[in-house]
Structure 1
Amino acid sequence: MLELKNVVKSFNGKTIINNLNLKIQDGKILTIVGPSGAGKTTLLRCISGLEKIDSGEFLLDGQPFDPYESRDNESVIGVVFQDFQLFPNLSVIDNITLAPINVLHQKETEAKERVQNIIERLDLTKFVEQYPYQLSGGQKQRVAIARALAMNPSILCYDEPTSALDPELRNEVSKLILDLKENGITQVIITHDIEFADKVADDTLTVKPVD
């Protein structure tokens, strides 16, 4: 379980997150909803270690944990970005194995073997030698998820995973997220899509702009 206690984050003197307390249960899906400017993405960036909090603390399974300082954070908390952030000059398989090779120091053959089940689970086998420009939005989404899962994270975070997807692809992402839950992956999802949130969430946090 990941717990946030009295977390505060400000930018340029404006408080975005004010004394937030939150528990993210193992194997559950937490959706974070609220209007633009309420701090949803900032909260996700703090949880994933992309932003350093001003005060407060994180506990992972009851032990102090700093996502920002942790060197092996990518193997604890993975992130699927809204714009996917795939490397255009790398094939699908190279995008997926880049971090295991460079961060976990796996050999290329080992990395490819280890991600094979992820590739099969996400139905990406026939795309592994293609490049991002050759993929649809839904396919890029699956590659981004596979890349995050390749680091074997305990928690997987998404920033607006259904934005710019048509209804059919949105349903595909919903099914994928629920399938990952069945495999014990804890997931945190930032979304404006209330219908989608209702479909996948075990718990929902509604955030509002700090006065």
Structure 2
Amino acid sequence: MLELKGITKKFDGKTILDKINLTVSDGQILTIVGPSGAGKTTLLRCISGLASVDGGSFMLDGVAFDPATNRDNDAVIGVVFQDFQLFPNLTVLQNVTLAPTMVLKKSAAEAEQEARQLLKQLNLEGKADLFPYELSGGQKQRVAIVRALAMHPKLLCYDEPTSALDPDLRREVEQIILDLKQEGMTQIVVTHDMPFAESIADQMLRVEPKA
């Protein structure tokens, strides 16, 4: 379970997040919705440790936790970025196995075996040796999810996972997220797509821009 207590974030003296309190139970899906500029992605960046907070605290499974300084954060909180952030010079398989071998110290053989299983699970068989430029947007999205899952995170975060996808691919991503829920994955999804948010959410947090 992830708890946020009084999380506050400021930029140039302007308060973007003002004392956010939130609890995400294990295996649940939280969607964060709101207009552009309201702080959705900022909150996700704070949760994932990509940005530090100016006030408040985090608890993970009842223990104080600072995402910004936790050295094993990739194995605790995975992130699927809006622009995927795949390495263009690496194949799909290399993108997926890089962090498990470097951070988790898995052998190349073990990392590859698990990567291929995950690629199969997300209908990416036959794509392991392709480079990102050879993939569709939906395929890149699934590779980004596989790469995050390969680190065995306790929590998986998504930043606008359907923003560049057509309706069919949107439904595909929706199903992937719901399937991961069935496997017990706790997930946080930032989105401007209200129907998508409502279809996957166990709970929804609406953020509004500060005056």
Fold shared per TM-score above 0.5:
yes
CA contact (8 A) 2:119 2:125 kept: yes
Amino acid at match of 1:176: I
* Identical-residue share of aligned pairs (%): 61
Is residue 173 from structure 1 mapped to residue 173 from structure 2 by the alignment? yes
Residue in 1 that maps onto 2:6: 6
Count, aligned residues: 211
Residue in 2 that maps onto 1:133: 133
Kindly provide the CA deviation profile for residues 190-209 of structure 1, in whole angstroms up to 9, marking residues without a partner as x: 00000101111111000011
Residue in 2 that maps onto 1:186: 186
Deviation at 1:117, TM superposition (A): 2.4
Is residue 153 from structure 1 mapped to residue 153 from structure 2 by the alignment? yes
Q: Distance in 2 between the 1:165 and 1:27 partners? A: 25
Residue in 1 that maps onto 2:92: 92
Q: Distance in 2 between the 1:28 and 1:115 partners? A: 25
TM-score of the superposed pair, with normalisation by structure 2: 0.98
Dislocated runs of 4+, deviation >6 Å: none
Q: Distance in 2 between the 1:82 and 1:27 partners? A: 22
Q: Distance in 2 between the 1:8 and 1:192 partners? A: 22
Deviation at 1:146, TM superposition (A): 0.2
TM-score of the superposed pair, with normalisation by structure 1: 0.98
Q: Distance in 2 between the 1:203 and 1:117 partners? A: 31
Q: Distance in 1 between the 2:203 and 2:173 partners? A: 18
Give SS of 1:115's match.
Answer: helix
Give SS of 2:126's match.
Answer: helix
Kindly provide the CA deviation profile for residues 36-94 of structure 1, in whole angstroms up to 9, marking residues without a partner as x: 11000000000000000011100001100000000001101000000000001000000
Q: Distance in 2 between the 1:164 and 1:55 partners? A: 33
Q: Distance in 2 between the 1:116 and 1:90 partners? A: 15
Residue in 2 that maps onto 1:50: 50
Cα-Cα RMSD: 0.7
Residue in 2 that maps onto 1:201: 201
Q: Which ranges in structure 2 are unaligned for 5 or more consecutive residues?
A: none
Q: Which ranges in structure 1 are unaligned for 5 or more consecutive residues?
A: none
Kindly provide the CA deviation profile for residues 124-172 of structure 1, in whole angstroms up to 9, marking residues without a partner as x: 1210010100000000000000000000001000000000110000011
Give SS of 1:90's match.
Answer: coil
Deviation at 1:123, TM superposition (A): 1.1
Amino acid at match of 2:126: K
Deviation at 1:105, TM superposition (A): 1.5
Amino acid at match of 2:124: L
Amino acid at match of 2:26: D
Q: Distance in 1 between the 2:53 and 2:79 partners? A: 18
Give SS of 1:71's match.
Answer: coil
